[in-house]
Amino acid sequence: MRTFGLILAAAALSLAGCAPVIIGAGVAVVADEVVEDRQGGDGLF
């Protein structure tokens, strides 16, 4: 049972570490859409 707790804790910390990356990617997509709407063309990326 102790091993399961360690695995669960490692998974939770891994997901918490990925959150800034996921949020940053979402912000980049929104920024790209805004630039496309304002300037036309292909946007930032």
Where b means 16+ CB within 10 Å and e means fewer, 1-33 reads eeeeeeeeeeeeeeeeeeeeeeeeeeeeeeeee
Domain encompassing residue 45: 18-45
What are 16's two structure tokens? 């918490």
Per-residue confidence (pLDDT) for residue 18, from 0 to 100: 75
pLDDT per residue as tens digits for the range 1-15: 578 888 888 877 777
Flag whether 4 is in a domain: no
Q: What number is the average pLDDT over the span 38-45?
A: 78
pLDDT at 24 over 80: yes
Flag whether 12 is in a domain: no
pLDDT at 27 over 80: yes
Flag whether 5 is in a domain: no
Flag whether 8 is in a domain: no
Per-residue confidence (pLDDT) for residue 1, from 0 to 100: 59
Flag whether 10 is in a domain: no
Flag whether 9 is in a domain: no
Nearest to 34 by CA among 44, 24, 22, 21: 44
> Number of folded domains in the chain?
1
Flag whether 3 is in a domain: no
Return mean pLDDT, the chain. Answer: 80
